[in-house]
Amino acid sequence: MSQQRPLLIPSQRTPGKEELPYTPVLLKSISENSKTFSRMDSNSNSQFENENSPLPDFIRNTSSQRSTSSIQSIYSKASSGHSPLPEFIRSTSSQRSTSSIQSIHSKASSGHSVREVSFELGSKPSVRHGSMGADSERFGSSYKEINDQDARLVYPNDPEKTNEKFEFARNSIRTGKYSILTFLPRNLFEQFHRVAYIYFLAIAILNQVPQLAVFGREASILPLAFVLLVTAVKDAYEDYRRHRSDNIENNRLGWVLVNDQFQQKKWKDIRVGEIIKVSANETLPCDMVLLSTSDTTGVAYIQTTNLDGESNLKTRYAKQETQMKNPEKEKITGLIKCEKPNRNIYGFQANMEIDGKRVSLGPSNIILRGCELKNTNWALGIAVYAGRETKAMLNNSGAPSKRSRLETKMNREIIYLSIFLVVLCTIISVCHGVWLRRHKEDLVLMQFYRKKDYSEPDVEDYNYYGWGMEVFFVFLMSVIVFQIMIPISLYISMELVRVGQAYFMIRDNRMFDEATNSRFQCRALNINEDLGQIKYVFSDKTGTLTENKMEFQCASIGGVDYSGGKAMDEDEQTGYSTRVDGQVFKPKMRVKVDPELLSLSKQKHTDEGRHVHDFFVALATCNTIVPLAVETSDPDLKLIDYQGESPDEQSLVYAAAAYGYMLIERTSGHIVIDIQGERQRFNVLGLHEFDSDRKRMSVILGCSDDTFKVFVKGADTTMFNVIDRSLNSNIVKATEDHLHSYSSNGLRTLVVGKRDLSASEFEQWQSSYEKASTAVMGRAALLRKVAYNIENSLSILGASAIEDKLQQGVPEAIESLRNAGIKVWVLTGDKQETAISIGYSSKLLTSKMTQIVVNNNSKESCKKGLEDALVMCKKLTNDSDTTRGNSGARTTEIALVIDGTSLVHILDTELEEKLFEVASKCTVVLCCRVAPLQKAGIVALMKKRANEMTLAIGDGANDVSMIQMADVGIGISGQEGRQAVMASDFAMGQFRFLVPLLLVHGHWNYQRMSYMILYNFYRNALLVLVLFWYALFTGFTLTTAITDWSSVLYSVIYTSLPTIVVGILDKDLSRTTLLRYPQLYGTGQRQESYNGKLFWVMIMDTLWQSVAAFFAPLLAYWESDIDGSSIGDLWIIAVVILVNLHLAMDIIRWYWITHAAVWGSIVATFICVMVIDALPFLPGYWAFFHVADTKLFWACLLGITIAALVPRFVVKIFIQYFRPDDIQISREAENVKNSRESRDAEIEMNPIFNPPRR
C-alpha cells in the first residue's frame, strides 16, 4: 500500500510531531494502573453506575473538576455539547473579528501588489510562506540545541524578570500599518513602490522646471495627486478599520495570575512570563506553554480554525511535571528557554527547567493565540510569545502575488510604445533644431529668444540656452507633452477591472458550494485574465477529484475477504450502539456492515473470531482519533463523534464501532473501548506517529492481562517489508491478492499488523523510547529509529479498504476541460491501480486510449522506458496521420501513467526533456505515488518547457508547493484544512467549479482584459498623435491647442469610465454558449485577443484616426481666422467622440450601465470643455461657445467621426464576414437562436455538457 498522503497528519506537520506528546509513565505505575483497571473492568457496569455523576452536577462545578476520575472526564468533554448556544455565539463572533482582520490585510496587500516582487520559479518557497518551512521533512531547528543567544528566556510567573533584560513584545497587537503621524510619509512611500507612479512623479517634477513647464503646474500635479489621494483615503479607511478591530481585540479580558490570584486583565496588558488561565471555549490571548489543564493527564483540546482553518480538535499536552502544580498555591519557579519567535505554526522548540529537572517542550505543548480551547474546562499556560510575536500574527501575511501573462506580454508593447514615444520626441526635437538653425539669423529679431534693442548693437539673450540645449529642452518638453503615450491610467483601470471581475466571480451562484457553505474566493487579484489561457491543469486526486469523505468499504481479515457490506439494506440496519447507565451511545456516522463479518466479530473464541477481534482492536486503537459525545434530542441517546485529523482514520474508527468496537474515551495515557458492550481499557504506552518515511504508525498497548502489544497500520509497500511472511504466508498472499483487487476498484487500502511483546522486549523498547523522547538533540531521528526497531516481524491481521468517492460532476467537468483543449494531469500520492481506476471513473481515461506506463526504478530503465514510449507515441500519431486522410478517424489518444519512483530519476536530469516530449504528445498524464515536491517539479517542468499556462488545483497541504509553482493555483476548501487555500490564488469548494471558472469567467476576463489593454493603448496614442501633429505646425515648440486641463482630464474623466465598465461588464458570449462549446476556450490559449498582430493593426488604425481627426479641421480652417483655443476644443471633442464611438463599435452587450458610461462620457466631455472655457483667466475663454456656434464646427465633427471610423468599420465587417472566428460565429448563432426562440416562443433548456464531437 502506498499512501503517500499521510494517513494521520498531513506531512507538513511532521516537524511538529517530532516530539511525542506522551510522557512515558514508569513501568511500575503502569502495572499498578493496569491492575486497578483490570479490576474495574471486571465489574465495570456497577462501578460506572457508582462513579457516574450526572451532567448537571458537572455543569455547576466545572472548575473543581480536576480531581474527578478519568471516566468522568469523558462527560466533561461532552459537556461542551451541553451548552451549545453560548459556545456557538462566542465562536462565531471571535471568528468574525479575526477573519475581518485577515481579509482587510489581504486586501491591503493586494492593493499594493504591483510593488510586490512576483514569486520566482526557482526561489525557495519557504522564504515566502511561513508554513512552507514546515513542508520540508527535516526541519533543521528541531535537531539543534537552542543557543543562549538565539533563545528567549521566560521565567514563569515572573514577568518582571522575564522582561528585564529584553523587552519582549507586549500582547497588544497592531495590524494597522500607520499611526496618524506616520500615515502620510509611510503611505506615500508605499504608493511610490509602483513604477508607474514614479514615472508620473518624474514627469510632474520635470514640468516644474521653468524652462520645461509645458502644462500649468497644477494641471501636471493634479492627476498624480488625485490617484495618490484616492489610494490614501482607501488605505486610511482600511487602516481605521484595522485599528478599530485591534482595539476590540486588545481590550478583551483574560485571567492572569497576579499575586497568586487570578485577576482579569486586558489582553494588551498581558506580558510574557505571566501565567494565564483560559476557560473552555475561550480564545487564547497569546502563545502559551501549557502548564496544566482540567484533565488529569494534562490534555487540552484546541480548535485552530482561526489559525489554519482546520476545524477538528487538536490535542495539546501539559507536561506531567507542571500538571500537578497549582500556581495559586505554590509558586512555580523555573525557566523556559525557547526559540525566537517564528512563523512556523507547527513547530516549537523549548526546554523547561522546573524543580531542577530539565524537560523538553515541543509543538504539542504550546497553544497558540487565536485558537480556542474546547472540551477542556480550563487550561493554564505561561505566555511565551505575545502580541506581534505570536505565531498567528507572524503568519498574517497576504495572498501571494503573481503577475498575469497578459501583463507580461503587455510589457513588450509598452516597450514598443516607449520607443514610439522616443521617436516622436526625437522628430520634434530634431525638427526644432533644424528650424532654429534655419532661422538663426531671424532669432535675433525674435523677441522670445533675444532681447534686442535695435538701437544698440548688443544682443541680450532671453531664455536662450544655445542650440544644443534648446533641442534638449524641447526633447524633454515633448516627453512631458506626450507622456500619456505610456498609459499609466491603464494600470489603475486594470486594477479596478480586476476588482470588478473578482466581484462577479465571488458572487457567482454557480460557484457556491452548498456543502461547505463556501463562496469562490479570489485571493490574488492580479491574474484574473490568466484563467482564460490555461493549457494544463494539474490536479490532485484526493479531496479534489474525490470528496475525501472516506467510507469504509470492505476488509480482508486473516486472508478472508469481507466485502458484502454493500448488499445490506440500509433501513434494516440499526447500527451498533451500547448502553451505559441507561444512556445509549451510538457512533454518529453509520457504516454499512458485512453481516458475515458482523456475526464473526461477536464470537470471540474461534480462530477467525480472534483474528477479527484483533483486527478491530487495531483499528480502534491504532489512531489519533478523539471521541466526543454529542447530545441529541433524546436525553438518553448520545452520539459519539470521532474527531481526528485524518479522514481515513475516522472512517476506520467508525467502521470498528459499527462492528462493536467502539472507541469511547481517549486520554494521553489510555484508551477505553467498548467491545461488544464490555468496556476495556488499554494503556497507551507509546505511539509512533505517522511519518512519510515509514508510511505507517504504531501504538504500543498495555492490555488488561498485563501483556504488551504493538499494533501497526500503514501503507502496503512499507508494511509488507516489516511483516513476517513466515508466520502465515497463506494469509499474506491472500491479503496481497485482495489488496490488489481493492485498489483496482479505486479503494484506498491499509494493512494492519500486530505483534505481541514479551516483557523484556517491552522494557527494552521503553527505555530506548524514553531516552529518545527526552533527547534534546535529534529527537525525531531517534524516535524514528525506535519505531523501526519495534515495527518488525509483525503478524498480519488484515487489510482495510476505504472508498474515496468522486466529487459531484467531476467526470463531466473533466470532459469539458478536455474539449476546451486543456490537458488534465492528475498527480496523486495513491498507488497506480487506484489512480488508474479513478482515472476511468472520472472519464480521464477512456477505453479508446492507449496507455503507456512508465514504471521503473533506475535511471537507465527510465530512460529506456521513455524512449520506448516516445517511439510508441510517434508510431501511434503516424498511424493516425496516415489513416486520417482517408477515414477521418481522430488521432489516437495516448495516456501516460508514470510513478513517483520513476520521476525521482527523471526530474532534474537530462531525462526531463524526454519526459516532456512524451508528455506533450499525450492527452492525459497520470502521475501516481508522487511526493509533494515532485508535484511542484512536474508543474515546473511543464511551465518551463511548454511555455504554456499551467493551473494547479489541490486541497491538501501536500499540494501547496504545486499550487505555488503553477501560474494559477487553486485551492479547494475541503476536508484537509486550509493550507492549500492559504497558498492559492483562487479558492473554491468543488472541482467542477473549474469549468465555469475557466470556460466562462476565465474566457470573459481574458477577452475583457485584452481588449481593454489594446483599447487603452489606442486611446492614449490617439491623443498623443493629435498633439504631435499640431506640434509640427507650431515651429516644433510643443504648443498645445488643446488646453492643459483637457489633456489632463482626458484619461481621468473623458474616457476612463467606459473602458472600465466595458472591462468589467461586457460579455462576448453568454454563459450557456461558452459551456456548450468548450472549444471556444481556445481563443485564450491561442492568444487571439491580444497579440502582436492586433497591436500593430491597432497602431495603424490609430494613425489613420489621428490623421483624420487632426487634418480635417486643419484643412477646413486653413487660412481662416480660427484661434488656437477654438480649434483645440474641436480636436479634443473629436478625439473623445472617436475614442468613445470606437469603443461603442466593439461593445457586444449594451447594458444600461454601458450606455450611461459611453454617452455619459461624451456628455461629460462637452460639459467639462464648456466649464473650462467659461473660466475667464484662461486664454481660451468662451472659445467653445463661439466655435460651437458655427455650422462648420459640427460639420467637421461629423466628418471626422465618420471618416476616422469607416476604415475600421469596413475592415471589421469584412473580417467578420469572410474570416469569422469562432466567437463571431457563436455570437451570431446566439442572436439567430434568440430571435428564433422569441418567434417560436419556445423555451428550451440547453444541455450544458453536450459538446459536438470533433
Partner 1 sequence: MVTIRADEISNIIRERIEQYNREVKIVNTGDEASQTISKKSKKPQYSRFTQQELPACKPILTPGLVITTLISIGIIFVPIGLGSLSASEHVVEIVDRYDDACIPSNGDDEAAKRERLSFIQNAKTNKTCIRNLVVPKKMKHPIHVYYQLDNFYQNHRRYVKSRSDRQYRSPGSEGDTKTCAPESEVDDHRPIVPCGLIAWSLFNDTYGISTKDNPIPINKKDIAWQSDKNSKFGSNVYPKNFQKQDPVGGGKLNESLPLSEQEDLLVWMRTAALPNFRKLYGRIETDLEADEKITVVIQNNYNTYSFDSKKQLVLSTTTWIGGKNDFLGKAYISVGGTCLFLAIAFILTYVIKPRPLGDPAYLSWNLNSATR
- List the interface residues with partner 1, window 595-654 (CB under 8 A): 630-633, 635, 641-644, 647, 650, 654
HEC string of 837-895? HHHHHCCCCCCCCEEEEECCCCHHHHHHHHHHHHHHHHHHHHHHHHHHHHHCCCCCCEE
Write out the binding residues for partner 1, residues 286-345 only, by CB under 8 A.
305, 310-312
Cell (9 digits) for 76: 466533561
The x, y and z cell numbers of residue 967, run together, are: 501560474
Q: With contacts defined by CB under 8 A, name the span among 379-387, 504-512, 761-769, 1044-1052 that binds partner 1.
A: 504-512
Given candidates 455, 574, 730, 760, which one binds partner 1 under the rule CB under 8 A?
A: 455
Pick between residue 24 and residue 954 the one whose CB is nearest to partner 1. 954
Phi-psi region for residue 922, left (φ > 0), alpha (ψ -120 to 50) or beta? Answer: beta
Tell me how far, at minimum, the Cβ of 708 lies from partner 1, in Å: 31
Residues 1058-1117 contacting partner 1, CB under 8 A: 1065, 1067, 1071, 1077, 1079, 1082, 1112, 1114-1117
**Is 1053 or 1229 the residue whose CB approaches partner 1 more closely?**
1229
Shortest distance (Å) from residue 282 CB to partner 1: 15
CB of 1165 to partner 1, least distance (A): 20
50 binds partner 1 (CB under 8 A): no
Pattern 1146-1185, partner 1, x by CB under 8 A: --xxxxxx----------------------xxxx-xx--x
CA-CA distance, 67 to 78, in Å (whole number)? 17
In the complex, least distance from residue 834 CB atom to partner 1, rounded to whole angstroms: 20
Could you tell me the smallest distance in angstroms from the CB atom of residue 602 to partner 1?
Answer: 25
Nearer to partner 1, 55 or 775 (CB): 55
Q: Which of 246, 308, 513, 540 does the annotation list as catalytic?
A: 540
Nearest approach in angstroms of CB 437 to partner 1 is 15
Using CB under 8 A as the criterion, what x/- string covers residues 70-89 for binding partner 1?
Answer: ------------xxxx-xxx
Closest CA to 933 of 827, 862, 1037: 827
Cβ-based nearer residue to partner 1, 112 or 451:
451
Q: Does 183 bind partner 1 (CB under 8 A)?
A: no
In the complex with partner 1, the residue whose CB is nearer, 91 or 1051, is 91
Interacting residues with partner 1 between 825 and 884 (CB under 8 A): 884
Of 207, 205, 177, 173, the residue nearest 189 (C-alpha): 177
Q: Render 181-205 in DSSP notation, one character per residue.
A: TTHHHHHHHHHTTSHHHHHHHHHHH
- Of residues 140 and 1252, the one with the C-beta less far from partner 1: 1252
Q: How far apart are CA 914 and CA 619, in angstroms?
A: 44
DSSP-derived secondary structure for 561-581: EE--GGGS-TTT-----EEET
Cβ burial of 1231 (10 Å; 0-12, 13-18, 19+) is: exposed
* Span 975-1014, contacts to partner 1 by CB under 8 A: 975
Tell me if 929 sits within 8 A of 829, measured CB to CB.
yes
Q: How far is the CB of 58 from partner 1 (least distance, A)?
A: 9
Of 439, 740, 843, 945, the one binding partner 1 (CB under 8 A) is 439
Q: Cα separation of 77 and 641, whole Å?
A: 12
Q: Which of residues 884-903 bind partner 1 (CB under 8 A)?
A: 884-885, 888
**Contacts for 254-257: CB closer than 8 Å, 24+ residues apart:** 254/278, 254/282, 254/285, 255/279, 257/157, 257/327, 257/328
* DSSP-derived secondary structure letter, 19: S
To the nearest whole angstrom, how small is the minimum distance from the Cβ of residue 1022 to partner 1? Answer: 19
Give CA separation, 734 vs 564, 745, 751, 1146, in Å.
Answer: 17, 17, 12, 69
Q: Which residues of 717-748 are buried (b: 16+ CB within 10 A; e: fewer)?
A: bbbbebbeeeebeebbebbbebbebbbebbbb
**Catalytic (active site) residue 260:** no
* 1039 binds partner 1 per the rule CB under 8 A: yes
1033 scored as a contact of partner 1 (CB under 8 A): yes
Nearest distance, CB of residue 51 and partner 1, angstroms: 13
1249 near partner 1, rule: CB under 8 A: no
Among 121, 1210, 1246, 1247, binds partner 1 (CB under 8 A): 1210
Residue 654 CB, nearest distance to partner 1 (Å)?
A: 8
Q: Which three cell numbers stand for residue 1148?
A: 457586444
Q: Is 1190 in the site for partner 1 (CB under 8 A)?
A: yes
d(CA 284, CA 291): 14
Give, for 167, the enclosing helix (H) or strand (E): none
Pick between residue 143 and residue 435 the one whose CB is nearest to partner 1: 435
Q: Evaluate whether 273 touches 157 at the Cβ level (below 8 Å).
A: yes
Which one of 508, 614, 967, 1101 is in contact with partner 1 (CB under 8 A)? 508
CA-only gyration radius of the chain, Å: 37
582 binds partner 1 (CB under 8 A): no
Q: Closest by alpha carbon to 935, among 979, 975, 904, 910?
A: 904
CA–CA dist 391, 370 (Å, integer): 9
d(CA 1017, CA 1098) in angstroms, rounded, equals: 9
394 scored as a contact of partner 1 (CB under 8 A): no
CB-nearer residue toward partner 1: 77 or 755: 77
3-state secondary structure at position 514: coil
Cα angle value 1246/1248/1249 (rounded, 5°): 135
Q: Which is nearer to partner 1, 54 or 122 (CB)?
A: 54
Q: Which of 42, 92, 123, 878 lies at the binding interface for partner 1 (CB under 8 A)?
A: 92
CA 1129, chain centre distance (Å): 51
Separation CA 415–CA 402 (nearest Å): 21
Given 1232, 1237, 1246, 1247, the residue binding partner 1 (CB under 8 A)? 1232
Cell 466581484 appears where? 503
- Cell 506580558: give the residue: 271
Binding residues for partner 1, rule CB under 8 A, total 141
Nearest CA to 16 out of 25, 6, 24 is that of 6
Closer to partner 1 by Cβ: residue 120 or 1152: 1152
Instruction: Pick between residue 1181 and residue 1249 the one whose CB is nearest to partner 1.
Output: 1181
Q: Which of residues 523-562 bind partner 1 (CB under 8 A)?
A: 548-549
Classify the C-alpha dihedral 871-873-874-880 as positive or negative. Answer: positive
φ, ψ for residue 485 (rounded to 5)?
-55, -40
1038 binds partner 1 (CB under 8 A): yes
Q: Note whether 208 binds partner 1 by CB under 8 A.
A: no
Q: Hey, which residues between 648 and 707 contact partner 1 (CB under 8 A)? A: 650, 654
In terms of CB distance, is 581 or 913 closer to partner 1? 581
The piece of 561-569, 892-900, 937-945, 1204-1212 that touches partner 1 (CB under 8 A) is: 1204-1212
Interaction residues for partner 1, span 920-979 (CB under 8 A): 975
Stretch that binds partner 1, among 448-456, 681-689, 754-762, 1157-1165 (CB under 8 A): 448-456
Residue 1195 lies near partner 1 (rule: CB under 8 A): yes
Q: Is 249 in the site for partner 1 (CB under 8 A)?
A: no
Tell me which stretch binds partner 1 (CB under 8 A): 63-71, 189-197, 199-207, 1199-1207: 1199-1207
Helix (H, G, I), strand (E, B) or coil at 592: coil
**Residue 95, class by beta-carbon neighbours within 10 Å (0-12 exposed, 13-18 middle, 19+ buried)?**
middle
Binds partner 1 (CB under 8 A): choice among 19, 988, 1128, 1136: 1128
Q: Which is nearer to partner 1, 112 or 450 (CB)?
A: 450
Q: Is 515 helix (H, G, I), strand (E, B) or coil?
A: coil
Instruction: Check: CB of residue 146 under 8 Å from CB of residue 337.
Output: yes
Which amino acids are annotated catalytic? Answer: 540
